[in-house]
Structures are given as structure tokens and as C-alpha cells.
Amino acid sequence: MLHEYGHIAVLVIIALVFPAGALVQSWVFQFVRVRPRVSSDPVKEDTYECGMVTRGSSLPQFNFGFYVFALLFLLIDVEIVFLFPWTLVFEEAGAAGLLKVVIFLATFVVGGLYAWRKRLLEWR
């Protein structure tokens, strides 16, 4: 059984080498004159901003909604991780296990309903 994971490990190496190979090939092509050589040019290397001269920092202020949703995601995702083992031992756990999972999920449902009530799920 474990050697199947070994196959995945070999595949990880291939999966990293294959795209890197494509990039290296494209990079090598400039020396065999298939591709124009990379030339440095102050205008060309400027940050793209629809043709205008770039102004200001590239780190603008963000909508607060992004952070709220990230926090909610963290709350729920950690909880869902614990449900994965439960699906595999479902028969052994039985009705008692299901009841415990319902109680476990209820904590998150209450939190989610609170967030909903507080209008945190609206994108502002």
C-alpha cells in the first residue's frame, strides 16, 4: 500500500521538472536565435498600468471584507477537517457518532448564524 505513495513522490519530481523544463527551453531559445534576446528597456520593464506612467505603490488599501471572509473560512475549515475521519468510521460510530457530529457542527452553525445576523456575510 505504501508504495503507492512512493509513486506519487516520483510524480511530484516529474511534475516539478516538466514545467521547469518548458521554462528553461523557452529561456535557451534566445541563445539559438529562435527567440529575440531579452533586452532591457526602461519603458518595457515598467509595471503595466494601461499605458500610463505607473503611479503610487502597488500595495493599495483593501476591502475589509477579504479579512472577514478569511476569518470565517478559518473557523469552518478547521472544523471540517475533523469530519474526514468520521466518514470512514461511520458504521462503527453509529447513531451516537452522528449525534456527536451534529453537536460539533451546531457550534459552527451558531457562529455562522451570528455572523450572518451581524451582516458579516454581505460584501461591502
Q: Is residue 51 part of the contact set for another protein (CB under 8 A)?
A: no
Judged by CB under 8 A, how many residues of this single chain contact another protein? 66
Q: How far apart are CA 91 and CA 103, in angstroms?
A: 18
* H or E element at residue 112: helix 90-117
Among positions 32, 45, 61, 117, the unique one binding another protein when judged by CB under 8 A: 45
| Rounded Cα–Cα distance for residues 72 and 111 (Å) | 9
Is the CB of residue 35 less than 8 Å from the CB of residue 29? Answer: yes
Under the binding rule (CB under 8 A), the answer on residue 73 touching another protein is yes
Answer positive or negative: Cα dihedral of 48, 50, 52, 57: negative
Residues that bind another protein (CB under 8 A): 1, 3-8, 10-12, 14-16, 18-20, 22-23, 25-27, 29-30, 34-36, 38, 42, 44-50, 58-60, 62, 65-66, 69-70, 72-73, 76-77, 80, 83-84, 87-88, 90-91, 94-95, 98, 101-102, 105, 109, 112, 116, 121-123
